[in-house]
């Protein structure tokens, strides 16, 4: 008769789901790089979007299942760097910057390093017990930064046109990187609340968004980017107009 090992701890298999989702997001981001190298930029964008969806869900699922852990937080941060830093930089370089390999690669590196710094600052803020829970981010978060960086690609596919001047795309990438490490507030929807009677409108809006992405993906992605830019610009203007104490 064998006796159970007292040093072993049983873990419900369902509690592994958040980490499995995080790893699935990483696989999507790395595969997006492969698709970009082979010239399948439409699939590359789709995989980045899948990675962003998984990133939005894994943390919430971990809290729901009460399976939050330090290794889960580290996995999430490392995967975000690949999915929203490395992958968009390589996708844009392969798509539009091969004509200027030196300057274009510098722009890609600047964007990737800015994504790394953005995530490092976010991790430090999360680990600090003195940091209050805020209703906004500081600087553009990395998933939103990835979507903004890919805006020229969205526009080109929407208009069925060739990439615009690679110099402008390189400057755009650097500008988005600077926005990620900026010190200005950007909207966070994590703490947003709605009235219970409005849930049906949110559900209908979500269905409409999914249908729009499926039917008119490039137009929808451009519209989402422009709406986000408008919100960020509006917050900045409101901040500038507030009287200083």
For residue 8, being part of any structural domain is answered with: no
> Which pLDDT score, from 0 to 100, does residue 206 have?
86
DSSP label at 67?
A: -
Helix (H, G, I), strand (E, B) or coil at 184: coil
Look up residue 49 and give its two tokens: 């979007």
Burial of 163 (0-12, 13-18, 19+ CB in 10 A): middle
Kindly indicate the confidence band of residue 5, based on its pLDDT and cuts at 50, 70 and 90.
low
pTM for the whole structure: 0.86
Instruction: Tell me the β-bridge partners of 136.
Output: 187
- Domain membership of residue 70 (yes or no) is yes
Which structural domain range is residue 43 located in?
A: 13-239
The total domain count for the chain is: 1
Structure letter (DSSP) for residue 84: I
Cα angle 103, 121, 177 (rounded to 5 degrees) comes to 25
Encode pLDDT of 113-172 as tens digits.
Answer: 999 999 988 878 766 555 444 567 888 999 999 999 999 999 999 998 887 899 999 999
Whole-number mean pLDDT of the chain? 85
What is the three-class DSSP state of 76?
Answer: helix
Task: Report whether pLDDT(244) > 60.
Answer: no
CATH number at residue 185: 1.20.120.1760
Give the distance from CA 126 to its chain's centroid. 17
Terminal Cα-to-Cα distance of the chain (whole angstroms) = 75
In a domain, 6, yes or no: no
């Amino acid at each position: 008769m064998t006796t159970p090992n007292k040093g072993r701890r049983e873990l419900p298999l369902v509690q592994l789901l958040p980490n499995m989702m995080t790893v699935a997001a990483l696989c999507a981001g790395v595969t997006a790089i492969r698709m970009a190298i082979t010239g399948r930029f439409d699939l590359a964008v789709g995989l980045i979007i899948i990675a962003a969806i998984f990133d939005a869900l894994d943390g919430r699922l971990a809290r729901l299942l009460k399976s939050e852990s330090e290794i889960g937080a580290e996995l999430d941060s490392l995967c975000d760097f690949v999915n929203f830093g490395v992958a968009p930089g390589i996708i844009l370089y392969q798509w539009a910057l091969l004509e200027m390999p030196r300057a274009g690669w510098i722009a890609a590196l600047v964007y990737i390093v800015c994504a790394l710094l953005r995530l490092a600052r976010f991790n430090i803020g999360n680990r600090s017990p003195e940091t209050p829970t805020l209703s906004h981010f500081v600087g553009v978060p990395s998933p939103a930064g990835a979507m903004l960086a890919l805006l020229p690609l969205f526009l080109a596919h929407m208009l069925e046109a060739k990439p615009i001047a690679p110099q402008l795309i390189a400057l755009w990438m650097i500008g988005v990187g600077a926005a990620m490490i900026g010190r200005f507030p950007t909207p966070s929807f994590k703490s947003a609340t709605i009235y219970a009677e409005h849930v049906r409108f949110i559900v209908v809006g979500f269905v409409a968004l999914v249908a729009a992405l499926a039917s008119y993906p490039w137009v929808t992605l451009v519209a989402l980017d422009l709406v986000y830019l408008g919100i960020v610009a509006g917050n900045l203007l409101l901040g500038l107009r507030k009287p200083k104490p």
